[in-house]
Chains A and B, each alone.
Chain A
């Protein structure tokens, strides 16, 4: 699958390259969100907070001080991870959990958005602009043409999928899924759910920050309303929900479905002069998926392959079952 995606980047036209860059970035962001809810059982509807913190960490260091985005990404991971951990600690310390924790994530993201909107040093509402793109590739400053960013996004998506798979197979995967399914039962088996919830949220937040930092570089600018807004939080979670919650490939399949559809419908809407057609299509797809494939597209593909006896074990990693 990644070979195909790599070829897409190398061969196809600029529009497809930039579209696929976004698809892959949202695959990675969706993966971070999926880790938190699909495996850790903690719902966030404010992931834009972490995405935004990552974007601003890269943006401020690069634009204001000329410091490499690599450092910015590390700073973003640290900042977002810490904010996530503190948010989780405060929340769970005072028994705010489940849907109330999700509300808290929205509140925190909105708080941050408003704060950054009024903060002159980071550009306030006028935003931050990266230096104009060049065609010369510069690994140290992570600058290059659209194709360069495509491969950065591809590497990131691959890293996200590999990382999720690795975590799933480690003891964290077992412990987190136990905690997700039944916190009381997990605690009775000695799982220290308090610290594991904080850990999964911190890791998810740090990953989201990396995605946010790269997203900012790709877009070449940062505006608080788009990078920290509710809209972005929703975009992050639609991929994994449509693709398959808690599955390794769900976010990729979901992003591949939703984002091109969104763009196509948006273009169609423009030519037919029906503004908002993309949003209608979005809604219809969501309803169809929830209605017919409530556990997402990816598990349905796996079921289909089993049903028609494709030797899917050969070419697909098996979803979570014991190895022996």
Chain B
């Protein structure tokens, strides 16, 4: 397995609180990996460290064998890592299509090229029919997919998705799962933070479990749910996958 992204002994503390504690993991190209853990486990902090939105207190992040932990977010994006935000952030006064165009300007300055890329991104998340809608007409599920489309327009090699399925109805979540599968089939590597265990089981090929900022387990979904430490700290002893 060649790793596209490797996180080595990553730590980040806020004052006395250690949000991420000596975490290491690697992502294989073309895989979907899930980062799970209870609230406050440090998942989003981990994301921010990888995406350059935060600097680690210690440790390294390698992307295509280059160190990126002190690289600003726009440069990280231009290297091929795109992220979404847990709280959806569409740009007001801009249509769905225009929102999706912004990311494309990281590699082109042609409006036409950006527009066709944006259509492509919207198509791959099933939003092409709503390209001209304004963003406040979108449902939560559509907004989350727009976030994904915005990220896809930057032509990423690695996509970081922060809770794209939180708050969605099961049918909506199922369609998101299909979207993610299709994206992975095109060779895109995906790292997602997710709460809904059923979805993680369904979509991820590898799972990394965080608890109190530290990694407590890593493996295939089946291995992870059978791990006693995971059961105790996160899933609860009554969990049946």
Q: Chain A nearest CB: distance from B38 CB in Å?
A: 25
Check A188 against B53 for contact (C-beta < 8 Å): yes
> Which one of B26-34, B85-93, B191-199, B203-211 is at the A interface?
B85-93
**A214, chain B: closest CB distance, angstroms:** 31
The residues in A between 138 and 192 inclusive whose CB is less than 8 angstroms from any CB of B are 169-171, 174-175, 177-178, 181-182, 184-192
Q: Check B12 for interface membership: any CB of A closer than 8 A.
A: no
Q: How far is the CA of A181 from the CA of B220 in the complex (A)?
A: 40
- The smallest beta-carbon distance between A159 and chain B, in angstroms, is 22
Fill in one digit per residue for B92-112: 1 if any A CB lies within 8 Å of its CB, else 0: 111101100111011111110
Q: Is B68 an interface residue (CB 8 A)?
A: no
In the complex, which residues of chain B have a beta carbon less than 8 angstroms from the beta carbon of A181? 89, 91-94
Which of the segments B16-24, B72-80, B137-145 contacts the partner chain? B72-80
* Residue among A175, A186, A322 with max Cβ neighbours from chain B (10 Å): A322
Contact B77–A171 (Cβ < 8 Å)? no
CB pair A188 B83 closer than 8 Å: yes
> Are B103 and A184 within 8 A (Cβ)?
no
Is B91 in contact with A178, judged by CB distance below 8 angstroms? yes
Instruction: Decide: A189 and B77 in contact? CB cutoff 8 A.
Output: yes
Interface size on B, residues (CB 8 A): 36
Query: Which residue on A lies nearest to B150, using beta carbons?
Result: A189
**CB of B51 within 8 Å of the partner chain:** yes
Residues of B15-61 at the interface with A, using a CB-CB cut-off of 8 Å, are: 51, 53
Residues of B within 8 A of A324 (CB): 97, 115, 131-132
Find out whether the CB atom of B94 lies under 8 angstroms from the CB atom of A186. Answer: no
B114: CB under 8 A from chain A? yes
Minimum Cβ distance to chain B for residue A57 (Å): 31
B89: contacting residue among A171, A175, A182, A321, CB under 8 A: A182
Is there a chain B Cβ closer than 8 Å to A193's Cβ?
yes
- Per the bound structure, the CA–CA distance linking A170 and B105 in Å amounts to 10
Is A243 in contact with chain B by the CB < 8 A criterion?
no
The answer for the CA separation of A170 and B92 in the assembled complex, in Å, is 18
Known interface pairs A171-B110, A174-B114, A322-B132; A190-B105 also in contact (CB < 8 Å):
yes
Q: A181-B91, A185-B85, A187-B72 are in contact. Are A171 and B105 (CB under 8 A)?
A: yes
Would you mind naming 13 contact pairs between A and B with Cβ atoms under 8 Å apart? A171-B110, A171-B114, A175-B105, A178-B102, A185-B91, A187-B77, A188-B77, A188-B82, A189-B82, A189-B150, A189-B154, A190-B78, A321-B95
Residues of chain A at the chain B interface (Cβ within 8 Å): 169-171, 174-175, 177-178, 181-182, 184-193, 246, 320-322, 324
